[in-house]
């Protein structure tokens, strides 16, 4: 557990809960880069973890930046332009880089408002499931700032250029139904079903062969920017490794024997 992230282990699944409900899970405080970096590094080093579910405590997923800290020019926003730039690199960018580099699938269970950095953190998840109470927005321009967390790169990849431009240029907030229609999230469920749905999805993911699962996520991530030929070369190398695992032998045997495979990460 950290001050920010409450970590619960459920077999091969970790549930991460942003734990500042009294501040609507505002991000980031100066130590938050460490919190995300350490949590992601621990999962990457543990082959027994096969999926992470990320949600928020209380009524928000994350309201994003602390407006009072912005107004008062303190914490992340204190000092000269060069100092603020350096803190963005050391705090905000460490958060998004660590999440982007998480080797196992990340499922966001968006329980309420996901705004600014909170929206982009949800957008870094591989699968996004939202409560009917969820809402999404990137209102940076409304505050006279810009998406300093890489959102200008991320959002067009999630919803396409035109819709990303509309979101950023108008500071519009999307309700869950519109976010689903735009492709920002995978599905919408009632609030009482949110965590059950997220954990059921994570459970199916966690049942896959661990090494092949991590390599497949790596291919999906690289596929956003690599050429087709580059992905084919990566696929050939990774596939060769996968064919030599005991999990592959188990998967083939299970398919022939018409039973569920028992993958052990070997």
Of 190, 206, 222, which residue constitutes the final position of a domain?
A: 206
Domain presence at residue 150: yes
Domain count, the chain: 2
- Do 104 and 221 have their domain in common? no
Tokens 């000092």 identify what position? 79
What per-residue confidence (pLDDT) applies to 82? 96
Whether pLDDT at 203 is above 80: yes
pLDDT band for 23, please (50, 70, 90 cuts): very high
- Do 47 and 103 have their domain in common? yes
76-113 residue pLDDT tens = 999 999 999 999 999 999 999 999 999 999 999 999 99
Using DSSP, state whether 135 is helix, strand or coil.
strand
- Do 241 and 150 have their domain in common? no
254-264 residue pLDDT tens = 999 999 999 98
pLDDT band for 1, please (50, 70, 90 cuts): very low
- Do 85 and 184 have their domain in common? yes
What per-residue confidence (pLDDT) applies to 215? 95
- Do 119 and 61 have their domain in common? yes
Contact 140, 147 (CB under 8 A): yes
What per-residue confidence (pLDDT) applies to 265? 86
- Do 136 and 180 have their domain in common? yes
- Do 175 and 230 have their domain in common? no
Of 206, 221, 242, which residue constitutes the final position of a domain?
A: 206
- Do 84 and 65 have their domain in common? yes
What's the predicted TM-score (pTM) here? 0.93
Burial class (CB in 10 A: 0-12, 13-18, 19+), 102: buried
- Do 25 and 98 have their domain in common? yes
Domain presence at residue 122: yes
Contact 205, 105 (CB under 8 A): yes
- Do 172 and 243 have their domain in common? no
Domain presence at residue 261: no
- Concatenating the DSSP letter of every residue in 136-199 gives EE--TGGGT---TTSHHHHHHHHH-HHHHHHHHHH--EEEHHHHHHHTSSSEEE-GGGHHHHHH
Domain containing residue 100: CATH number:
3.90.226.10
Domain presence at residue 262: no
- Do 218 and 189 have their domain in common? no
- Do 202 and 79 have their domain in common? yes
Boundaries of domain holding 219: 210-256
């Amino acid at each position: 557990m950290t001050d920010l992230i409450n970590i619960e282990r459920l077999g091969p699944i970790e549930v991460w809960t942003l734990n500042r409900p009294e501040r609507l899970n505002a991000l980031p405080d100066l130590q938050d880069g460490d919190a995300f970096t350490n949590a992601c590094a621990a999962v990457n080093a543990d082959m027994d973890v096969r999926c992470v579910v990320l949600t928020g405590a209380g009524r928000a997923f994350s309201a994003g930046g602390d407006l009072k800290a912005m107004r008062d020019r303190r914490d992340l926003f204190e000092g000269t332009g060069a100092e603020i730039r350096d803190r963005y690199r050391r705090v905000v960018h460490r958060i998004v880089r660590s999440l982007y580099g998480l080797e196992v699938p990340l499922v966001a269970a968006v329980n309420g408002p996901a705004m600014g950095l909170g929206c982009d953190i949800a957008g870094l998840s591989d699968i996004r499931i939202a409560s009917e109470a969820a809402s999404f927005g990137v209102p940076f321009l409304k505050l006279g700032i810009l998406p300093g967390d890489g959102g200008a790169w991320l959002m067009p990849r999630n919803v396409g250029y035109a819709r990303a431009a509309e979101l950023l240029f108008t500071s519009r907030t999307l309700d869950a139904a519109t976010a689903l229609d735009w492709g920002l999230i995978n599905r919408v469920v009632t609030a009482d079903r949110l965590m059950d749905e997220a954990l059921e999805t994570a459970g199916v993911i966690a049942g896959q062969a661990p090494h092949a699962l991590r390599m497949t996520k790596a291919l999906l991530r690289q596929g956003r920017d690599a050429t087709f030929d580059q992905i084919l070369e990566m696929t050939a190398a990774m596939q060769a490794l996968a064919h030599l695992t005991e999990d592959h032998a188990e998967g083939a045997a299970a398919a022939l024997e018409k039973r569920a495979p028992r993958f052990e990460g070997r």
